[in-house]
Structure 1
């Protein structure tokens, strides 16, 4: 029980902690203090669903349907490029976000949609979470694989919670317009680079 649990925890964290589109989005929302709890919950819950699908063996089906990954790859690349372009525009204009947690009702829906897109339109999440974690879990046997899934899920929850909640400590730095410009420029580079890599 302990070995599969910690194997899942370490494998899950090793895959999720890497700088990527989803983490950059969670970081920005955390600094802005905009719907952070919702963003963290959506990211963690999505990861849990994908981990369970992989452990249940859905990755085998996904591996036999490469056309599905092609569609996801192109849609994901388009989304990442568009979001990167918006971040680049914010960086050029020097748009400074306030730190109020209050947002219009429509903004919550926009944040939710963006968060879901970062998760479900990323083909790497299917390759890493469903296929790779599913394969690693299978090595622990019938009962051990579910403990592996529990460990990977725990890692996901811990990481997104720490990232979303911890970002608020950077808020004093981001009271300056220059800091937002640097952050948005970095996000733009990450997003556009990932979009190009998806298509290459």
Structure 2
């Protein structure tokens, strides 16, 4: 006697992991618009229907691919906590240490590329700013954290885009200490200096 199982099939964790790895690589390489379910399936060595089975739409696959091995809120809270003095340096060092980790970078690159595509602005504005940066500013005790953390983000995003996405020669050539020396005073000014 055979029994049939109704409902969604359980998938192999290895197949699911292979699809996610292929998706992360494709999104990082080609961005959201340049990545297709068929391309991800081909890179993972599976049928496109299996990608749809595990993840549904391309949007759902992208969200799953952004599943980072670190929670940015926890990383920043742990490494940036402390007095307001020196917070710019701690923040920049924390971000650089995460971005310089080759295991994490493909997912971060995919996320940044998605942010610069149509509709990506809402992901940053409605996600990263209020969920990660503004609470960090509040925890540091800055006044007007909504305003100050957007100013901080403008500099941090510039460094990230130039160093890891555009790969601007001068910024890539600088080691972490040189970047911190150049940018931490600017961040500290945004965190604690006068606002006009």
Higher-helix-fraction structure: 1
Q: Which has the higher contact order (CA 8 A, sep 6+)?
A: 1
Provide TM-score, normalisation by structure 2. 0.30
User: TM-score with structure 1 length normalisation?
Assistant: 0.29
